[in-house]
Structure 1
Amino acid sequence: MGSGGTPFGIAEIQMLTSYFDTPFDPDRRLQHQIQERLIEAILDGIWPLHEPLPATRVFSRQINVSRNTVAIVYERLVEDGYLKSVSRRGYFINERHVREQLNIRVDDHAKEILPRSEHPFDPDALLVCRYSDQENILKPADWQSFEYPFIFGQLAPDKTSVARWRDCIRLAGTAQHAPTWIGDLVDRDDPMLIDQIIRRMLPQRGFRADPDEILITVGAQNALFMAAHLFCRPGVRVDIEEPGYVDARNIFQALGARIRPHRVDSNGMRVGDELAGARLVYVTPGHQSPTNVTMSMERRLRLLAQAETQDFIILEDDYEHELNFVGAQKPSLRSFDRTGRVIHVASLSKALFPGLRLGFIAADRRIVSELRALRRLMYRHPSALDQRAMAIFLSEGHYDSHIRRQRKILSQKWKKIFRLIETHLPACEATVTTGGSGVWIRLPEETRAMELQDLTARHGILIEAGDIHYLSPDKPRNRIRLGFGAIVEEKMEPGIRLLGELLTKSTQR
């Protein structure tokens, strides 16, 4: 019998229940999964339009869920237009809505008047820039399937922070907060998030700012892209670190800038009169990318003095400020800036959830004004809902608690990985750092990092060859980076031991 007593065929019910043969995912809400599968069945047309869907007690028994769960799903499908409820008869498929979903057709007359092209479309002939030709760090999408994922830029999930973020998202959706994100903010940002950044994050970086000196971005990467668009054009000189952050270099080169690299040592980028003539100098002073060394105070002050005397902008990428484990946190370059020449770029999500993609820029208000106008042309503003959730996350102290947990976990891994390298990779030299989530390693001279990367991947070890980080043609070929943020601590020792064994075999060939 149907929902309201109408007979229906066994074959139809079997067809419908076949969509539920695959087990439900325990990590997802059951109601959503049932709703998705029912919609798929409806759009596939397996249920007669003139027959009511199975009664809730019948259908719930067929797919082994509670009757109340099915009733809730049916009502949601009524609200969404897929079903219609008929008194005393049950739930029927809403034929009009389904036809609207399926019958989107191009008018035959329009097809007749469209000219047939005799030339195949060739987008390459029209492109003004081929971003896909740029060299990039290759990170496999299935990195989590590697037994030993020494991948940089990823973190092991923090269940406590995930739960608290979920609570903040839920709170942001309440009547109290919803008015702040329902409408288009145009070119503005969430004032609560700006206030939290000024009060909670900037003091840890050693400087203050007014609200009109802060701009929210879709991560630190987006901040670099926008800043580059303000100050780069063909022929403009941009000075960078060598080795350095690949995608920053790619951004500058795509805009036609002339790139001049400066060597990095244990104190960060070397700073001197050779910076004369630069329009923009890009640095990662907190944890240099990719070596993870911290720029010394002497060099920070000298770089700022050079910026004033040589008249250039400093683009400070402080993507991992919170993760120092040795000594006090060093103040940012922005904290010593007297003239407004430092554009400070920070990530709100890298140490929390890298996929969240939230960051900010702190800079002279005149620069921020231009960046705001540019951002409006690109995407107006980052998700206002995410901004409000992050503001709540900060205000309730969850971010500070998360950073304390991350520092504790990563500092343990940081100490451990240096011990393991000394034990299992005695022929290698690890660059000494004050923290971070990765380590830069010099392999034996005869070793080729790219070949080692391919070899280790076949044995479940994910490492990163360092070649890509160099611009100079005479770059060293024996550098690798090991990230330890994502790998569980118990896997580090067997992973490094196996890496050492594979390295020994590769050098003996």
Structure 2
Amino acid sequence: MSIPVEAFFLTSGAAGALQRRIRAMVTDGILTGRFRPGQRMPSSRGLAAHLGISRITVTLAYADLVSSDYLTARGRSGYYVSDNAPRAPEFPTAARPKEEVDYAALSSARFTRAMAGVDRPADWERYPYPFIYGQTDPTLFDHQNWRACALRALGRRDFDALTSDYYERDDPLLIEQICRVILPRRGIAAGPEEVLLTLGAQNALWLAATVLLAPGRRAVVENPCYPGLRRILQTCGAGVASVDVDAGGLPLHLPPADVVFTTASHQCPTNATMPLERRLALLEAASRDDFVVVEDDYEFEMSFLKPVSPALKSLDKTGRVIYAGSFSKSIFPGMRLGYLVAPPSFIAEARALRSMVLKHPPGHIQRTVAYFLAEGHYDALINRMRVAFKRRRQVMEEAIAEAGLQVAGQGGFGGSSFWMAAPAGVDTEVLTQELRGEGVLIEPGRGFFDPAREARNYYRLAYSSIAPARIPEGVARIGKALARRGAA
């Protein structure tokens, strides 16, 4: 029995090359049981005419399916579904069960409650004025060299790195590059036994908090601070004290603590940089009062206005600083790759904890990043981003001044955003929804604050993923929206 050409159709607007889409149609038909072993496929000429495409495209797709043993070629009689092709399950699909357990009640909803208020549109690219933080501008990314490194990592020479289970270890080539290329530019000297790879900075902070904190222990965080950290600490059972930051970041008058979390080099979200004298004093206090400092150095590569200050970790003489770094802002966030740098005894504990959740980040990603660093592409990318961000920052400053908006914190070293203040009576969550209707995306500030002392009139404007030509109009629309409220 032959499979009719009418079983195949191309959906307009679907992604992917034609050859891959034909392959997907055939494999889907086989795996779902619609196409059975021994059935004859439409001729390449007939299917090409039906779909309105080139015959060679169908021929190449069929040849690829033969090599994968989905199809078999029988001389002059054509192509058939292979007897050895993967088969659909032989049992019927069960009905979806009725949900009788209230899992939110069972878990006290402690995780979903911690995530409340997080609202970022997944389709942010379709908005003409996306002032959202942390996304990558594809016009700045080095697609060609990243692809070359990824293909190299897929090669036979790196087959073990691609396929092997490292167990609790990490790719030694990437660890070497982090120790030799990344950390020295922060003034940090570390050996392989002092570095652990993580699935981004969020995972690094979770590992650090879980190792260091437990019920009965105390943590200090900045206010405002990275919302992801606050969510982590909400679920670990430790006491949490929020300390208001000033123009120099985290002040030194701290309540008793076991662990202090800080974004010293680039405070999140105000962009303040902690002065060197305060950094030294904080480390002195850590020794005197017996606490550990977790340093989240999430954006140090984006310092383009003046040289970056030394990391707290580089000044640490007693092993009290746990350093968290990430490639999310410098390469791209979807890679989800970060690292912890700390004394070997801490790394051993964090590695054991990581192995309970995941053994290690994917080997192919690790090796690709290692090549991207080793061949100098990373530094070229960073230089290109710094030039672009400096230009965008200048355009943003001019637009903000023209619109009469108030900057609450912009930092002196660079970065990729401005921390803004609307007049006291403005709720920026309401403003955010209003601006979305005009194609403008901003990030309301309430989620950065201690819930007991939240402020609703702050917001963040990022320039990492918006073209310079669009910045003035986008900022002007924000100014007009505030003016309509009588607040500009």
Measured against the shorter chain, the TM-score band is over 0.9
Matches of 2:105 and 2:117 in 1, distance apart?
Answer: 23
Matched position secondary structure for 2:302: coil
2:68 is aligned, of 80, 97, 112, to: 80
- Please tell me whether residue 495 in structure 1 is matched to residue 474 in structure 2: yes
Identify which range, 312-321 or 439-448, moves more after superposition: 439-448
- Please tell me whether residue 478 in structure 1 is matched to residue 465 in structure 2: no
Partner residue, 2:327: 348
Matched position secondary structure for 1:421: helix
| 1:387-420 deviation line (CA, Å, top 9, x unaligned) | 0000000001000000000000111111221221
Partner residue, 1:214: 195
- Please tell me whether residue 331 in structure 1 is matched to residue 310 in structure 2: yes
Conserved 8 A contact 1:136-1:246: no
Following superposition, the deviation at residue 262 of structure 1 comes to 0.9
Partner residue, 1:413: 392
Return 5+ residue gaps in structure 1 as ranges: 1-6, 112-116
Matches of 2:449 and 2:79 in 1, distance apart?
Answer: 64
Partner residue, 1:429: 407
Following superposition, the deviation at residue 457 of structure 1 comes to 1.6
Matches of 1:56 and 1:119 in 2, distance apart?
Answer: 48
Do the aligned partners of residues 118 and 458 (structure 1) sit closer, same or farther apart at CA in structure 2, a change above 3 Å counting? closer
Matched position secondary structure for 2:459: strand
Identify which range, 394-403 or 430-439, moves more after superposition: 430-439
| 1:411-433 deviation line (CA, Å, top 9, x unaligned) | 1111221221111024x234231
1:132 is aligned, of 112, 121, 124, to: 112
Conserved 8 A contact 1:280-1:313: yes
Partner residue, 1:114: none
Return 5+ residue gaps in structure 2 as ranges: none
Conserved 8 A contact 1:239-1:262: yes
Conserved 8 A contact 1:418-1:430: no
Aligned residues: 485
Conserved 8 A contact 1:346-1:360: yes
In structure 2, what residue type is equivalent to 1:131? F
- Please tell me whether residue 20 in structure 1 is matched to residue 22 in structure 2: no
Partner residue, 2:78: 90
Show the 5 A alignment for 1:233-382: 233-272=214-253, 274-275=254-255, 277-382=256-361
Following superposition, the deviation at residue 128 of structure 1 comes to 5.4
Partner residue, 1:166: 147
Do the aligned partners of residues 453 and 159 (structure 1) sit closer, same or farther apart at CA in structure 2, a change above 3 Å counting? closer
Do the aligned partners of residues 278 and 156 (structure 1) sit closer, same or farther apart at CA in structure 2, a change above 3 Å counting? same
2:172 is aligned, of 177, 181, 191, to: 191
Matched position secondary structure for 1:316: strand
Which one has the largest radius of gyration? 1
Matched position secondary structure for 2:88: helix
Conserved 8 A contact 1:351-1:403: yes
Matches of 2:104 and 2:120 in 1, distance apart?
Answer: 26
Matches of 1:429 and 1:207 in 2, distance apart?
Answer: 33
- Please tell me whether residue 386 in structure 1 is matched to residue 377 in structure 2: no
1:55 is aligned, of 34, 38, 43, to: 43
Following superposition, the deviation at residue 122 of structure 1 comes to 2.4
| 1:453-485 deviation line (CA, Å, top 9, x unaligned) | 122122111111111111153433211111111
| 1:319-360 deviation line (CA, Å, top 9, x unaligned) | 101111222111100000011110100002322111111111
- Please tell me whether residue 231 in structure 1 is matched to residue 221 in structure 2: no
Matched position secondary structure for 1:499: helix
Matches of 1:201 and 1:106 in 2, distance apart?
Answer: 51
Following superposition, the deviation at residue 68 of structure 1 comes to 3.4
Matches of 1:458 and 1:260 in 2, distance apart?
Answer: 38
Conserved 8 A contact 2:30-2:88: no
In structure 1, what residue type is equivalent to 2:113? D
Conserved 8 A contact 2:71-2:80: yes
Q: So what's the TM-score if we normalise by structure 2? A: 0.93
Do the aligned partners of residues 122 and 400 (structure 1) sit closer, same or farther apart at CA in structure 2, a change above 3 Å counting? same
Do the aligned partners of residues 242 and 47 (structure 1) sit closer, same or farther apart at CA in structure 2, a change above 3 Å counting? closer
Conserved 8 A contact 2:417-2:461: yes
Identify which range, 33-42 or 283-292, moves more after superposition: 33-42
Matches of 1:364 and 1:314 in 2, distance apart?
Answer: 13
Following superposition, the deviation at residue 158 of structure 1 comes to 3.7
Matches of 2:161 and 2:2 in 1, distance apart?
Answer: 49
Matches of 1:345 and 1:49 in 2, distance apart?
Answer: 54
Matches of 1:80 and 1:102 in 2, distance apart?
Answer: 19
Percentage of identical aligned residues: 34
Matched position secondary structure for 1:439: strand
